[in-house]
Structure 1
Amino acid sequence: MSPTEKAVKRQRPADASQDAKAGRSKRLKTDVILHKGDAAVALSEKKKKKQASEWSLDLVFRGNIFNIDPVFSVDEKYLFLSRGDAVQVYSLATQRPVKTLTMKDSSHVTGLQLVPSDPQHLYISTHSGRLIQWDWDAGRETTSRGNFVKVSLLEVVPLKVPDEEKQRMAYFAVKTKGARCHIAVNTDWTQRKDAPETVVFDTANVITHLKVVQGGQFIVACARQQLIIGTLSPKSKETGTFDDYEWREYRLPVKHITCLDVRESQIAVIGENTTMTIDIAIGDASGVILVYNNVLSSISREGTSGLPLLQRLHWHREAVASLRWSRDGNYISSGGKESVLVFWQLDSGRRNFLPHLSSPIRSITLSSVGALYAVQFADRSITVISATELNSVATIDGLQLPSSLEALVDINDRSVERSLGAGLPAILHPRQPEQLLLASPSGDSSSLTFLQTFNIQTGLQVARQALARTNVTVLNKGPEGTPILPPNVEFMELSGNGQCLATIDSWSPHQKDVEPSLGPLLDNAQLQKRKEVFLKFWHWSEAQGIWELATRVETPHLALSGEAVQILSLKARSDRSEFVTLGSDLTIKVWQPTARYTTSAKSQSRSNTMEHTWKNLTSIDLSYAGHDITTGAMSFSEDGSILAVGLKNAVHLIDTRQWSVYCSRQVFSADSIRSVEFQGRYLIILSEQSLAVWNVVDDVIQTPATPASSSSGSFKNIALAVDSSTDTFAVVTKTLGANLPSQPSRKTTHSITVYSTSTMTPLSESGLENAPIKFLADPNNGGYIAIDVAANLWRFSHPNRNIQALAESSEESGRQLSAVGAGLDNIFRRAGQKTLEQTRSIQQPTTPTLKLENLGGIFDRAPPFALPPATALFKDVVNALVSSS
């Protein structure tokens, strides 16, 4: 039956990119709505229009810690770290962020510097080409400089100029111009914005590291195998121009320089003259560390052609990612992919280890006093370690996701290729909705092997544990040198009571490992035969505070030829502990727990010894729906009585009491179904180009407004979520701009559109700055949550709903759910049975009481300066009031 309703065209804003930058919601004109039948009624009431316009898109927190060396304050009380287009000031005493310095032009931070002699100012370089001097305590910019677009390295150094009492803050920058690199110096940029800079060195080699020591008297730089040292001329030092250096280049016995650190120290005091020197430590791509001591005395002697090597240290089996001198010069700390922090004692040659860290090490930062280390890991977390006791002082975690969309596809492993529509496995805890559970990688790998539990209200990590085999601290290379990749978690679902977790992970061998047996020319189908798939069931242990593995099912869907079948979807039943899987063999398997008792515990109490194992007790064959199907979607109704399965362009409704197919219906003419979601009696069906709403009780399909292709660009629907608390559903759309001759590539934008389920009209639309990789409904607070490729968490919600309207909608939804449950039961002739919704609806009303401890838990969970935003606190107060009624 084709719908008879008139489709409403959704007006898409032409300036979507501007709306995304402004971060505000744009209301759509909805003068015509759809009702059952052919009636169309105009909405002209100001109140309803105002409610539609109150949807807003808010940034909850920036979840990604960017790979930029953090900086300690001089007093070691604060740590400055990059959060993309902002710098976060983190208090080590309270272990909470106390301030955020946001860039005015929304440009990403590329470097941080803090000078010990100027502790109140933080120097920030941005991707847009600005160098900014921030008064971080006051939270304002004091000075900025442009023309920094092609700067790759930057050092801010205090210079002592003759006849001037106050030190100058000069910058030394490595810039690229064509195929050449040069080092530029500017000593007056804080006094004059138009102060010119001077190029002091030019080379055809790519400079990868830069250090400026002893007040600009010496510049140490590194290219691929070259160590470059510049010494300030006496004349330039006397005049204070710092524009003339004498340069020496040394070719080192290394494969490729990966890190550099320079230490300046005093070696002798003769009268009023102090002799200074520098020590250099260099890390190599092969894992070697070269130590050069008292370098200045070596280069000052005439006739020397090289640097005297003090020590050659080798423990790392791969490249040294970072190294640091201790303040006294007795130790060197280093780290790399081995997830081990190594401390080298230079006098005795001994090594101390801090092993089994959470992820490979990216960088090591030492405080100005030398009492604290800040170790940044590949999983985008930072741990502050005491230099004396080697224990953790503070840990800062973000959302541990691949930092860009390109990182979601690993060219070395086809099994971990993921589409934007599928997104990353992430769910909100049904009983603790402030907790977000998501699959995360162990480090630089794009394979998702860990479960991260993150509190979206406080922005802090709650827990992290492995879901699949990991090789964080073990040798991750085979005999032939090929990487051993960990499995990849593809699906994750929680039961309605939050006690059972189901995950699906897969693993494929490296292509080079199977070439001897299958040949060098392999396609995806041949690699699929060697693929391993595991379905795992976990039970929450309250005593241990972790998810314990209860059952592991190897190859849950098996083909006739014997290889594992790809899993297309995994869903949890809403009314009981039950999971269903859909395989590419077009078979649905129902997994249910069965009780079991251990032999040694038969004499004990059954309540203490009973465990559960998960088994497949029922299967449904849908092979009649077609063949060669690579995508599928499933959704349970709110009362669990129906399972909707979307395959190709048709939807199949399954009675979960008999586990039989009740009816099948073609929804779209050609599009393949991407997602299906139930909301009461309505089933929302989404494809790349179409959107439909099926009233399964009245058997009526309606078509809401869908974006139409025009000369300005084409669109594609990529994600769907439903929110019963607001009686809405939302669609994420990707729009490709027009192909203009003046632009080398077409501009892509993403937007979220919220529809009313009852009227099927668009209520509001807002653009996203980055592509979303996960889109979820938040039934507890009302609205939707989007996680983008930069690990930012956005909330698209209706914040100005009053408590009375919220209570009324809750009461009304209870009555609707009761009617819906009866309607769904009538489909399968179960009118005489009482559903969960009917049981709730006949409960006696209670007198609303507000417990003060509920509010205390909201405002006392953190210090005042570390509380969540005001919008989040308001929603928590509203939820406390509603839950007390």
Structure 2
Amino acid sequence: MIVGGQSLVSSAPVFSHDGKKLLVCTGCTVSVFSTSTGMLITELEGHTDRVTSIVVVPVATSGGTKFSNYCWTSSLDGMLFYWDFSTPDLLKKLNVHLPVHSMVIPHILSASIGSTNKASPNLYAFVSVEDANRKVVDVKHLCGLIQIYDLTNSTRVGGILAETRKPEILAVSKSGEFVGIKKQQQLNIWRVPNKNLKSENMKKLKLHHTRTLSCLAFHPTNSIVAAGDVSGRILIWRGFGKMRLSQDGGGKMKIDREDRPGVRDGDDADSCSTWHWHSSEIRFLLFSSDEAYLFSGAKEGVIVVWQLDTGNKNYKPNLASPLMYFTDSPDPSLSCVSCEDNRIHLLRMPSMDIIKSISGIKLPLVLPESQRGESHVTLGFDRSNGIIVLPTMDYCVQFFSLFDDTEISHVQVIERNYDPVDETTVYISLIELSNDGSMMCTVEEKLPEMGLGGLISLKFWTRGSHTGHYTLSTVIYEPHSNGGVSDVAFCPGRSMAVSTSYCGNFKMWVKSSSFIHTGDEIQEKGGWRCQSVGSYKGTPMTAAAFSGDGSVLAIAAETVITLWDPHSNLLVAVIGDSLSPIRRLAFVGSSEYIVSFSAGTKAHLVLWNISTLSMHWSYKLLVEDVCSMTSESRFAVLALFSYSDKSVLTEKDGMVLLFDVENPIPVSTWFVRKAKGGRLNFIKNKSGEAADGKQLLAYINGGHEYILLDPSDIKETEGLIHKTARRPQVHSDDENVAVGYASIYGELPSFELTKERSSDNVPFVPSERPWETVFSGSSHALPPLSKLCSPFLESLLEKQNVLSQ
């Protein structure tokens, strides 16, 4: 199996200490990207659930402190891992036994793993975990816990530092002196002692607000903390904790409102000021490295730069997506911003110009609540190239390669400026491509306002000279009068398409071409027109499909299947009667079978025999999608689990079933997650890898993560997953020449994630002629010069046997 499509913005990314790498949480792995090229360097694989936090660790040496490629990661699988992300190797494990939602490590610069100084203090991690069992036994449902762990000795320290209704995101000051969380309408802040770090020894401070808080950030050096709330306001507390967090404090604070402007009664702070520009919930706050500015971001897609002394502000607008995280780098000229559209922009500071962008697959559209039950969004597949086509919030469609796990291109479908704050009023509801990918059809819907002004547009596109590049050919407004478009299908081998409507008819569209002479060149010019219209007893037409040779057109007229001659538009036959409206049709290869499924309380999957006009076999299944092979008599079904008691549901909420038309028993079965809203389709394997035209089964779940399954591999199981590189490196298979590290030390042994490894176990296998290739290869793959210098000089010396006299 090949998996991909993980979110790049589920958690905040982290820069390496030299600023040359960016570590990103991508599902169960950590992806390491180059900040100069935006390409994937390596991945850290070992966690079994989503990675939630990354903390990069400097390594202390006897000659001083140098920054190396080590980091700690936390995950919902309850594990804390310590990595060398340059190799990559898993060096240490710590089991927390509860899902970890956030982790910070104070004093990480002064207490480094790997220090040779015996007097070096231990390294402690603050983790925010979730104990689901507490929801049952605790009346207040305080399932979020803050705990402390000694990473040096792999032990838990003290008891519970705090309890919350849900796991909160931890924040830490750069000096490591303060750790805090936002808790509804207040901030909880602890001072972290340098010695005897136990939960009972830590002093706590509370700062109050009138609205629910959404994020917080500490000033790098001063006693200043900033917090954002759900209304878009930013609060700045200055001089906090002088009484309650001081080493010798603890007495009662004297309340003096005149000397503490803006501070609520009882809060330990010198002053509190409020800034307001954002119109929505504050997503992030970050103090600049020079300590003079504060960065803030929210749904508007604008980074606001506040001057701390004056409150004046500047803007970085037009990022065209709600913002999630803002991360600074040790390099003051570099930072990055994570956007809700699954994209990370690398910014040049202080101008904040975009240098590079790391793009993932677009996340599902979020429709208005009034339309979620009535409208649906259908994805498109370019089956010949292994590309999925998805609608985006900014009125485009994204072409995404399933094999390379990378974005191919964008096509602007709706000519409209996108404003993240505005409610969605226009969206792309349907995308369909021809089998060879040369033609594309999109359907866009404009939602009515106050019951008026709704509009449906059908657009046909023609592919250009490159994959993923399309030009608009024809626009048809209201193709079915006042009815919505339920489905679109292309006729194989012809410039013909059919669209069906809930208003009770379907229309055949054909492409007409004409040639015009422009100087010495002849250009083709043409468009799509309606050739014929059909209906069946005025019932809604819900689905359509062409046979493999294009000679038969099947239209679902609510509960029956009507068969038509697409060339003459004559009704040929009518098949059976389903128990509920049919949602999807698919001809099974070149066979005489067609598969359909119905939704609702009487959901059914039915295989029909066209030659006998009868049901072949059926299942009572709640089906989400169905697709079929183009050359074989097999089809795949995405089914949902249906339980009356939701408490027995597991993380696997669906299954993919592979059927052969002659046997109602599935050939293969895969259990999957997020099946609701998922899609299936067969795609051709990569060119050069399957000369026999082998097809892979692509499953896209409701979160737009995907798996490519091999139906012909009977040994493939759920536990055997092969993950391809998101940005594969270019290499040659002509000759296997050892370069760089391998030319001196030899190939690294295979690494098993179930065993803890140490970097000291790498064998020394010198090469016969290392000087020819020692400095070849990518710079990120080479060891430091301190390791290369000695072996390189030794390789230049001729070794001789010296006999004693």
Q: Same fold (TM over 0.5)?
A: yes
SS of residue matched to 2:231: coil
| Residue equivalent to 1:255 | 211
SS of residue matched to 1:157: coil
| Residue equivalent to 1:372 | 334
Q: Which amino acid in structure 2 is aligned with residue 284 of structure 1?
A: D
| Residue equivalent to 1:284 | 229
User: Of 546, 550, 561, which aligns to 2:473?
Assistant: 550
The structure with more helix, counted as a fraction of residues: 1
Cα 1:586–1:131 shift into 2, 3 Å: same
| Residue equivalent to 2:791 | none
TM-score by length of 2: 0.73
Mapped pair 1:67 → 2:13: no
Mapped pair 1:224 → 2:184: yes
Q: Note if contact 1:279-1:295 (Cα within 8 Å) is conserved in structure 2.
A: yes
User: Of 708, 715, 736, which aligns to 2:621?
Assistant: 715
1:418-459 per-position Cα deviation (integer Å, ceiling 9, x unaligned): 3xxxx73221154xx1332222334xxxxxx43010112211
| Residue equivalent to 2:32 | 89
Cα 1:436–1:304 shift into 2, 3 Å: same
| Residue equivalent to 1:428 | 382
Cα 1:120–1:654 shift into 2, 3 Å: same
Q: Note if contact 1:332-1:346 (Cα within 8 Å) is conserved in structure 2.
A: yes
C-alpha distance in 2 between matches for 1:426 and 1:356: 28
Displacement of 1:665 after TM fit? 2.8
Displacement of 1:735 after TM fit? 3.8
Mapped pair 1:589 → 2:550: no
Cα 1:393–1:214 shift into 2, 3 Å: closer
Q: Note if contact 2:400-2:407 (Cα within 8 Å) is conserved in structure 1.
A: yes
Mapped pair 1:614 → 2:521: no
User: Of 340, 344, 363, which aligns to 1:382?
Assistant: 344
- How many residues were matched structurally? 670
SS of residue matched to 1:719: strand
Cα 1:633–1:399 shift into 2, 3 Å: same
Mapped pair 1:139 → 2:44: no
Q: Higher relative contact order by CA 8 Å / sep ≥ 6: 1 or 2? A: 1
Cα 1:185–1:655 shift into 2, 3 Å: closer
Q: Note if contact 2:76-2:101 (Cα within 8 Å) is conserved in structure 1.
A: no
User: Of 453, 478, 483, which aligns to 1:565?
Assistant: 483
Q: Note if contact 2:9-2:340 (Cα within 8 Å) is conserved in structure 1.
A: no
Q: Note if contact 1:175-1:182 (Cα within 8 Å) is conserved in structure 2.
A: yes
Q: CA RMSD in A?
A: 3.9
| Residue equivalent to 1:197 | 158
C-alpha distance in 1 between matches for 2:463 and 2:561: 34
SS of residue matched to 2:509: strand
Displacement of 1:768 after TM fit? 2.3
C-alpha distance in 2 between matches for 1:543 and 1:724: 24
1:345-394 per-position Cα deviation (integer Å, ceiling 9, x unaligned): 44565544322113111111112344322211111221222224533333
Cα 1:375–1:211 shift into 2, 3 Å: same
Cα 1:205–1:726 shift into 2, 3 Å: closer
Q: Note if contact 1:673-1:685 (Cα within 8 Å) is conserved in structure 2.
A: no
Cα 1:255–1:668 shift into 2, 3 Å: closer
| Residue equivalent to 2:203 | 246
User: Of 575, 578, 581, which aligns to 1:665?
Assistant: 575
Q: Which amino acid in structure 1 is aligned with residue 386 of structure 2?
A: E
SS of residue matched to 2:607: strand
1:256-300 per-position Cα deviation (integer Å, ceiling 9, x unaligned): 3222111222xxxxxxxxxxx333232233323334455466976
Give the alignment of 1:492-511 within 5 angstroms: 492-495=431-434, 498-509=437-448
C-alpha distance in 1 between matches for 2:220 and 2:652: 50
Displacement of 1:775 after TM fit? 0.4
1:621-641 per-position Cα deviation (integer Å, ceiling 9, x unaligned): 32x2x63x4x62211123322
SS of residue matched to 2:220: strand
C-alpha distance in 2 between matches for 1:594 and 1:652: 27
Q: Which amino acid in structure 2 is aligned with residue 473 of structure 1?
A: D
Cα 1:716–1:223 shift into 2, 3 Å: closer
Mapped pair 1:575 → 2:490: no
User: Of 130, 151, 171, which aligns to 1:211?
Assistant: 171
User: Of 428, 431, 444, which aligns to 1:489?
Assistant: 428
Q: Note if contact 1:734-1:748 (Cα within 8 Å) is conserved in structure 2.
A: no
1:178-237 per-position Cα deviation (integer Å, ceiling 9, x unaligned): 4358874535344144x34334456x78785533337654333333332333345xxx65
TM-score by length of 1: 0.67
C-alpha distance in 2 between matches for 1:603 and 1:264: 68
1:405-426 per-position Cα deviation (integer Å, ceiling 9, x unaligned): xx867524347643xxxx7322
| Residue equivalent to 1:786 | 699
1:138-186 per-position Cα deviation (integer Å, ceiling 9, x unaligned): 332512122434x554322237689952332212234676435887453
C-alpha distance in 2 between matches for 1:298 and 1:374: 37
Q: Which amino acid in structure 2 is aligned with residue 505 of structure 1?
A: E
C-alpha distance in 2 between matches for 1:769 and 1:497: 30
Cα 1:219–1:303 shift into 2, 3 Å: farther
Cα 1:672–1:387 shift into 2, 3 Å: same
Q: Note if contact 2:410-2:468 (Cα within 8 Å) is conserved in structure 1.
A: no
Q: Note if contact 1:652-1:664 (Cα within 8 Å) is conserved in structure 2.
A: yes
| Residue equivalent to 2:682 | 777
Cα 1:644–1:218 shift into 2, 3 Å: closer
Displacement of 1:786 after TM fit? 0.9
Give the alignment of 1:159-170 within 5 angstroms: 165-170=119-124
SS of residue matched to 1:255: coil
C-alpha distance in 2 between matches for 1:207 and 1:745: 22
Q: Note if contact 1:571-1:635 (Cα within 8 Å) is conserved in structure 2.
A: yes
Cα 1:671–1:797 shift into 2, 3 Å: same
Cα 1:291–1:416 shift into 2, 3 Å: farther
| Residue equivalent to 1:100 | 43
Cα 1:721–1:141 shift into 2, 3 Å: farther
Counting aligned pairs with the same residue, the percent is 19
SS of residue matched to 1:171: strand
User: Of 321, 327, 335, which aligns to 2:283?
Assistant: 321
Q: Which amino acid in structure 2 is aligned with residue 166 of structure 1?
A: S
C-alpha distance in 1 between matches for 2:191 and 2:280: 33
Cα 1:635–1:768 shift into 2, 3 Å: same
1:813-871 per-position Cα deviation (integer Å, ceiling 9, x unaligned): xxxxxxxxxxxxxxxxxxxxxxxxxxxxxxxxxxxxxxxxxxx99979xx999xxxxxx
| Residue equivalent to 1:341 | 303
C-alpha distance in 2 between matches for 1:786 and 1:639: 26
SS of residue matched to 1:63: coil
User: Of 741, 764, 767, which aligns to 2:668?
Assistant: 764
| Residue equivalent to 1:689 | 604
| Residue equivalent to 2:400 | 454
Displacement of 1:579 after TM fit? 1.9
SS of residue matched to 1:778: strand
Cα 1:530–1:182 shift into 2, 3 Å: closer
Q: Which amino acid in structure 1 is aligned with residue 201 of structure 2?
A: D
